[in-house]
Amino acid sequence: MKIGITGAGGQLGQALVRYTMERVSPASVVAVTRHPDKLEEFSRQGVEVRAGDFNLPTGLLTAFQGIERLVIIPTGDLQPGVRRIQHTAAIHAAAASGVRHVMYISTVGARPDPNNELLDSHFATDQALINSGVAWTILRMSIYMETLLDPAKRAVSSGSYAAVPGAPAAYVVRNDIAAAAAGILTTPGHEGITYHATGPVSISQQEIAGAIGKTAGKPVAFTEITAAQQRAGLEAAGLPPFLIGIFAGFQEALRAGMFDLVTADVARLSGKPAQSPSAFFARTLGSTASTARG
Ligand SMILES: NC(=O)c1ccc[n+]([C@@H]2O[C@H](COP(=O)([O-])OP(=O)(O)OC[C@H]3O[C@@H](n4cnc5c(N)ncnc54)[C@H](OP(=O)(O)O)[C@@H]3O)[C@@H](O)[C@H]2O)c1
């Protein structure tokens, strides 16, 4: 059986190719990417690397030939209305190419929301896949734990973790999402199921400050900022206005509890427990923390 992975050149895509190769022969993996030249290492390992761009649907018909099970990794294109067109084109191409089973990596909390392109486009893709006539699986991912890394490094240096307080969230490490997705791609029985790849605990911003301090071995204070201050920070960083709106809407949904969902799906699908925030900080802050301790 040929297993296809779109977006194979991205960080999640590359991790998914690696986890899939741990479970099946590289010869049965097809990595689809806009930039095949970047994946020569996978080619050397026996993976078939093909060119594929969701903006060029005709080429996808060739890219998906002979693939039985395909995962669609979402693009990061958040220009209004674009992503759902890209994803729907990929779903239609998969169906037209004879792909039997398609998995989409969506988000926890996907919902119709005309004011939030990020959530709305994931929801639209979920629905397009369910209605495509192809066997489907949806893996809804929580927010990446990696989004905490830069703020955590700053917190170790300054002794203060600044965030807008709100509901807790079950941050998940990217590799755990990839490992769960590889489990779905390489074992039977996942058709018609929506899974949720989450971390093992839901953690508040105050608890994040505490976990960073514990890893650093020094006090890290929680400094409350407002949503307006957070937005001003994005403006100062020079983000385009449409992205600031999307990011602010995403943060608002986070504070309202969108990612306050813990499941055992990562462990169930990957065969190993999802990484906790404290394990993540211990793994990633090691050198920053020891420098800060002097
Ligand atoms: N849950 C979260 O907190 C979170 C955070 C960040 C991002 N995300 C989402 O998860 C996705 C994967 O994340 P990542 O960490 O791997 O980000 P990344 O490294 O920036 O990867 C971007 C991905 O988008 C694909 N892509 C972009 N334009 C495309 C097009 N026209 N046709 C087909 N594929 C296209 C890329 O594929 P190729 O380069 O191989 O063509 C690549 O897989 C992101 O695109 C975003 O939707 C989620």
CATH code of residue 208: 3.90.25.10
Range of the domain at 70: 3-141
CB of 86 shorter than 6 A to ligand 1: yes
**Mean pLDDT to the nearest integer, 289-293:** 62
Q: Give me the number of domains the chain comprises.
A: 2
Tell me phi and psi for residue 291, to 5 degrees: -65, -45
Burial 50-79 (b: 16+ CB within 10 A, else e): bebbbeebebbeebbeebebbbbbbbeebe
Distance (Å, rounded) from C-alpha 52 to C-alpha 59?
Answer: 6
Question: Does residue 294 sit in the same domain as residue 161?
Answer: yes
**Cα 267 to ligand 1 centroid, rounded to whole Å:** 23
Q: What is the CATH number of the domain that holds 123?
A: 3.40.50.720
198 or 290, which is more confident: 198
189 lies in some domain: no
**Cα 87 to ligand 1 centroid, rounded to whole Å:** 12
Question: Does residue 28 sit in the same domain as residue 90?
Answer: yes
How many CA atoms within 13 Å lie on the side-chain side of 173?
A: 20
Per-residue tokens: 57: 């649907």
Distance (Å, rounded) from C-alpha 162 to C-alpha 257?
Answer: 19
- Quick one: DSSP state of residue 195? E
292 or 185, which is more confident: 185
User: Mind listing the pLDDT tens digit for each residue in 130-173?
Assistant: 999 999 999 999 999 999 999 999 999 999 999 999 999 999 99
User: Mind listing the pLDDT tens digit for each residue in 21-61?
Assistant: 999 999 999 999 999 999 999 999 999 999 999 999 999 99
CB of 55 shorter than 6 A to ligand 1: yes
pTM over 0.95: yes
CB 163 within 8 A of CB 222: yes
269 lies in some domain: no
Question: Does residue 90 sit in the same domain as residue 161?
Answer: no
Predicted confidence band at 2 (pLDDT cuts at 50, 70, 90)? very high
Predicted confidence band at 202 (pLDDT cuts at 50, 70, 90)? very high
Using alpha carbons only, how large is the chain's radius of gyration in Å? Answer: 20
CB 8 within 8 A of CB 42: yes
Question: Does residue 121 sit in the same domain as residue 229?
Answer: no
**Cα 8 to ligand 1 centroid, rounded to whole Å:** 9
Question: If residue 291 lies in a helix (H) or strand (E), which one and from where to where?
Answer: helix 286-293
